[in-house]
Structure 1
Amino acid sequence: MRKIIAAALAAAFVFGGCSAELPQQSSETSQPCATTAENTQERYVPLNYKNQVGMWLPYVRFPDYMQSRSEEQFRKEVVEILEDAAAEGVNTVYFHAHPMGDAYYRSVIFPKGEFLDGSYDPLAIVVDEAHKRDISVHAWINPLRLQTDEQMRALPEDYIIKKWIAAGEPFVKNVNGRWYLDPAYPETRQLLTETAAEILDGYKVDGLHIDDYFYPTADTDFDSEAFAESGESDLAQWRMDNVSSFVKALYDTVKSRDERLLFGISPQANISADYDSQFADVRRWAGEQGFCDYIVPQIYFGFNNENSPFLTVLQQWEDLARDSGVSLVIGLAPYKLGREDKWAGKAAELEWINDPDIISKQIAAVKESSADGYALYY
């Protein structure tokens, strides 16, 4: 990962400047950009930046530096990742604390993640080491995605999801062998807010972050019973309202702990697909206050993509977030460097192979846009 970070960010623009509208410090002295607590016994003061340079730390990479590692080894790996990231200007990490009905933190609600085979607390270590380097930590959760059938069978019987399944509750649904929460029910929204509260109350995280796992299918059978009982006539709008309801609930949970904590959403960048396949009302979230503090569309497209060219999609998101008070952070895809892009159209299939400077060029384009920052997915 260190080599990837260096290659992706070498000669790249790094957003400068200090945090905007910083809270008042608890002491007369303060750092020029980051906000920190003077007295660790007092209320934690979140560390956040107006111009994010973000980096996702996804669970799919956990086998590389967590699985089969001791606490000491894991901490060493995290230090190397964070130091390399900080050296290249990264000021915010989104750590995958809750990828699929599991926990890479101390939880009384969810079972331990399968890649965590030690007894240490990954989130606590990441928060500790990141804050030493003035890096903000946002706990990243997938709100609706749960375990597969096979994984579920191996879990304890007292796991709340397994109890719901055994009781035939409609709150969880199986789609192609994987379980998902159904956002139509207050019980699932309550579980999501309890998940957020467990993390926010247990750790000095600086925010909460969700990505693009909303409705797992557009199939009308997924929630036909709940829709019939709702009395509504527009299925798509009803589903969008269900998603916005739990998004709002998460935002409110974050703000109930501290107004200075941030809540961010990272949807897919194709706006039509957000609505048609996931029922994610991104125009509302990006255009109105009260749903998120920042939004990170995953613009994982090259400049020559035949269906979604980078600059066109960037402009679409600028238009959505303009004058809304919601910060726009552009998600970029250095993981695609050196790979064929089969979905980009024939003329653009080899763009990520032929142009090794594509990420640097995209960061430069973000600098010229109205966006407040960018985030990198390796």
Structure 2
Amino acid sequence: MRYGAAAAIFVAAAVLVLLLPVLWGPAPSVEPAPTASPAAETPAAEPQECRAVWISYLEWQQTDFSSAEAFRADAAAMLDNIAALGANRVFAHLRPFGDALYPSDYFPFSHLCTGTQGEDPGFDPLAILLEEAHARGLELEGWINPYRLQAGGTPDRFAATSPAVTHPDWVRQTGDGSYLNPASAQVRQYLADSLAELCSRYAVDGIHFDDYFYPTTDPAFDAGDYAASGSTLSLEDWRRENVNALMRLCCETCHRYGVRFGVAPQGTPEGCRDGQYSDAARWLAEGGYCDYLMPQLYWGRSYSRGGDTSQSLDELAAVWLALPRAEGVSLCFGLGAYRIGEGDGGDRSGPGTEWSSGSALAEQAEFLRGAGADGVGLYRYASLFDNTLYPTLAAQEAAALQKTWK
């Protein structure tokens, strides 16, 4: 009796196994695992309020690159001062002249490291900067000039690995220097690929472009490219579309790595659009171009020129703040720390004006906070912490900012 029941159960089970493909369909085939690739990620969230300081190539000129230890000491001293100020972000100049402060497959080492473009300093400055910044709770964004290769004779020669040498057809000249061609799709892709390299190899918190877009309004600059394009757009709109294409591609590239992408355009929407063909108002209004905009408002609150106050900080900020803004795009403002003691070129720019008050930057930051801005950046580090012309005023400005930011 037990054997017969067991046999019946075995037969029934075998039949069921045979029927499973009919009842439920064939088992799904196993696909091979895809090749690893950068995932589309959400960029790092903006801090509650951006409080940033620019460290430019002018600061690197005064920095000791003779060894990793010497560089670390100088970088640590700067970052200590920035952190003590109450800042939470640093814009570190990493690619000022088509060169790099890190080993790159796309650009040679900067001449700022050794005096000669392309010469390896023997260490990785960016790796040290990131380590020191993050140890102090500071975010570090890589500040890049996208098109500039040479300006005013700097650098005095190109390395053999510079795009100026390897891709001379990508280069366009002005009376002042050499620039990558904004009209070239190859240039745009090269720049985007170089950002992918930077974002994949380093834990940068952001990529930061400044206002070096088209270097001239001269029609001769890219007349051949414009004619060859066959575009029905005006020269001006065609140039704007070239810059727009770069911004979209670079923003998309950074976002693949979860890295924030921002830009600091000129101080007036008209100056951006008509002077450098950067349609910053569009970037603010539409998603996909940048995560934040930081127009450079380098004039004081009481600025006037011939009685015209339209470029005063208050009035310019109001213009920007009134523009349409896409969800997820922040609006911050750059402040001119280099104006301390010097003034802003307005009707009242000498002693006794806001620039000699010792609190101009703090008052500007507080005003912008109250007006609804998402934060400010200070151009630049040395104007506050290595100001040989106005050391007392600079120290007073730093103390006032510290109270505002703390």
Same topology, TM > 0.5: yes
1:339–1:352: 8 Å Cα contact kept in structure 2?
no
Cα distance, 1:313–1:151 mapped onto 2, change above 3 Å: closer
Matched, 1:83 2:80: yes
TM-score between the two structures when normalised by the length of structure 1: 0.81
| Residue in 1 that maps onto 2:280 | 282
Amino acid paired to 2:94: A
Q: Secondary structure at the match of 1:101?
A: coil
Q: What is the alpha-carbon distance in structure 2 between the residues aligned to residue 312 and residue 141 of structure 1?
A: 29
> 1:1-378 maps to which residues of 2 (within 5 A)?
49-67=47-65, 69-117=66-114, 118-148=121-151, 154-165=157-168, 169=169, 171-231=170-230, 232-258=232-258, 261-306=259-304, 307-320=310-323, 322=325, 324-342=327-345, 344=346, 346-348=347-349, 351=353, 353-378=355-380
Q: Secondary structure at the match of 1:138?
A: strand
Amino acid paired to 2:280: V
Q: Secondary structure at the match of 1:106?
A: coil
1:95–1:138: 8 Å Cα contact kept in structure 2?
yes
Deviation at 1:101, TM superposition (A): 0.6
Q: What is the alpha-carbon distance in structure 2 between the residues aligned to residue 333 and residue 278 of structure 1?
A: 20
Deviation at 1:85, TM superposition (A): 1.4
How many pairs are equivalent?
Answer: 327
Cα distance, 1:148–1:301 mapped onto 2, change above 3 Å: closer
2:216–2:276: 8 Å Cα contact kept in structure 1?
yes
Amino acid paired to 1:81: M
Q: What is the alpha-carbon distance in structure 2 between the residues aligned to residue 152 and residue 53 of structure 1?
A: 31
Q: What is the alpha-carbon distance in structure 2 between the residues aligned to residue 83 and residue 321 of structure 1?
A: 38
1:78–1:126: 8 Å Cα contact kept in structure 2?
yes
Deviation at 1:177, TM superposition (A): 4.2
TM-score between the two structures when normalised by the length of structure 2: 0.76
Q: CA RMSD in A?
A: 2.2
Unaligned runs of 5+ in 1: 1-42
Percent identity of equivalent pairs: 33
Which structure has the larger Rg? 2
Unaligned runs of 5+ in 2: 1-40, 115-120, 305-309, 381-406
Cα distance, 1:158–1:72 mapped onto 2, change above 3 Å: closer
**Deviation by residue 1:296-331 (Cα, 9 ceiling, x = unmatched):** 111110112225011001111111254643101111
**Deviation by residue 1:140-163 (Cα, 9 ceiling, x = unmatched):** 110011125966773343433213
Q: What is the alpha-carbon distance in structure 2 between the residues aligned to residue 294 and residue 218 of structure 1?
A: 26
Deviation at 1:354, TM superposition (A): 3.4
Q: Secondary structure at the match of 2:297?
A: coil
Deviation at 1:65, TM superposition (A): 1.9
Amino acid paired to 1:364: E
Cα distance, 1:151–1:270 mapped onto 2, change above 3 Å: closer
**Deviation by residue 1:28-72 (Cα, 9 ceiling, x = unmatched):** xxxxxxxxxxxxxxx9x95852321111111111122235x4211
Cα distance, 1:297–1:196 mapped onto 2, change above 3 Å: same
Q: Secondary structure at the match of 2:296?
A: coil
